[in-house]
Chains A and B, each alone.
Chain A
Amino acid sequence: MHPILSAKPQEKLLLLGNEAIVRGALEGGLRIGAAYPGTPSSEIGNLLFQLQRELPGLYFEFSTNEKVAMEVAAAAAASGLRSLTCMKHVGLNVAADALMTLAYIGVKGGMVVVTADDPSCHSSQNEQDNRYYARLSGLPMLEPANPQEAREMTAYAFELSERLELPVLLRTTTRVSHARAVVEMGELASYEEALKGKFEKDPKRWVPVPAIARVRHQVLLEKMREATVLADGSQWNRTYGKGSKGIIVSGVAVNYVLDAVEELGLEDEVAVLALGFTHPYPAGLLADFLREKEAVLVVEELEPYLEEAARVVAQERGLKVPIFGKATGHFSRALEFTPGLVKEAIARAFGLSYTSPEAPDLSWVPELPPRPPTLCPGCPHRETYRVVKEVLEELGELSRTIFPTDIGCYTLGLLPPIQMADYLICMGSSVGSAGGFSKATDQRIVSFIGDSTFFHAGLSPLASAVYNRHRFTLVIMDNETTAMTGHQPVPSQELRPPELEDRPRIDIEAVVKALGVPKVVTINPYKKEEAKAAIRPLLEADELSVIIAKAPCILYRARVAKK
């Protein structure tokens, strides 16, 4: 049995924040989970996918994208079952269409939406602050500060969700999801039997045509008022220490603030309001805190969400207390915080003298070579890039070719010596933007997309490209897995672990042909000359074509061989 399942209540395990979320979900009686992987959320899905083999009462699937996953989880919750979906911050953009209206129709069974944000873009294309999705959608939000809270809040989130009949956002960041710390276990739910839900028809609730949507919006607004009361009294909003100065903080920064207050010896001068239930913000609690203080510093990564809330509360109550934060230049809206940065800001805000430890003289350290992440030695993507580049070179087309790229390991084709990644927005943008370039320019366009990303967001832009006579070559780099995030399954894969042997297989070449793409070839990128001869006519022509470069990820192949 997996240790996360065998651990008894009160037993302590060293868990990653994401593992703690899984344990919390299983304590909270999760029945149906669905996700598309994305760093820093991926371990949640990986673990649930693995654990369902030991738990007859748990179903988890890797859906083809975050929107599908959210719809699967929403339907489960509409049927009265507790459900969860998890995604990286930009994944919620994909699922946002579902989320916004799901907030209107709500849920019956508890539903948790985990959004794992990535300040500093450790593994992402932007550092958007998804707390604004809570505000935009009008959904309650919890923000754990560490793995222990991640476990407890996840279990609690199901109760909160059922009480309000709304999905609950659980917002982490990389430093919470990928922190590892001692976590004390609670009681696991029973998973001995598969449990079926029942969907009760109620078109006046579940089908938001305009007349119903207008009513449901009112219901949502009423629930937000109820949620504000809950936030004010929430056990997740706590005060530490006492004093005439105050700090308001949420997320991983709670740790930085509590350490700093202790290390600066400010426990009797600075009170800390650490918030875990942050949307709707606890207006009453904030007002009480602000009223007693001479000055308040708001510490939060990325956007000034709590800071603005504090200013609104102060204005509404006519409180004159100075509020420091992003607007006053104490913090930046960009990049993640560090403990030192927070300590300095606290000292500055409250007029304390603090000097960071003296740095040693390092003038003798030589220039060191950078270590950008690279494609693995022997990676099939390297071969595909080489084959395409050589043909374009031979055709004299290389310098006039635009290479739209996509999200996956192959984005590393950006770096020398490959340098075949020119334009990227988001999942699937290699296909949609290629069509745009083909209408806007006379340049040659060769796009790259992975197999998993193709199923995620490549199918509909390819249909559009066929219909609108877009002119580009799309290279689908089929390595038979979702490699970057840890080898999650893909519907097209032939190479698969034993437990997935019985799944149907969707053939990429058949799909592309069925969409009506005029020219399609499949190559083995390791057979260089053969591959070059096969793709040359496509790279010469001025019409839509698809090259499927098929060779498994070498790490994935080794992993499957071990099973």
Chain B
Amino acid sequence: MEDLLSILKELHPEVDFETCDTLIDDKILDSIDIVTLVAEIGSEFDVEVPAEELTPENFNSAKALWAMIQRLDEA
């Protein structure tokens, strides 16, 4: 989780990712942020995020993102 937060922070230093749960709804993350994030997650956590997982629900908050990473890691 810490690693994830630092990746996010690097993208948008001004956002408080620990509490924000409207990252997509409020257009904080755009499509380019999302794919950058996926690429970073891939290198950092060694999970493949398939295209169908790139949904607003999975990227709306750091918590949701973390849940997705763990789910993908388990499967």
A and B from one complex: no
User: Which residues of A are in contact with B by a Cβ distance under 8 Å?
Assistant: none
User: Which residues of B are in contact with A by a Cβ distance under 8 Å?
Assistant: none
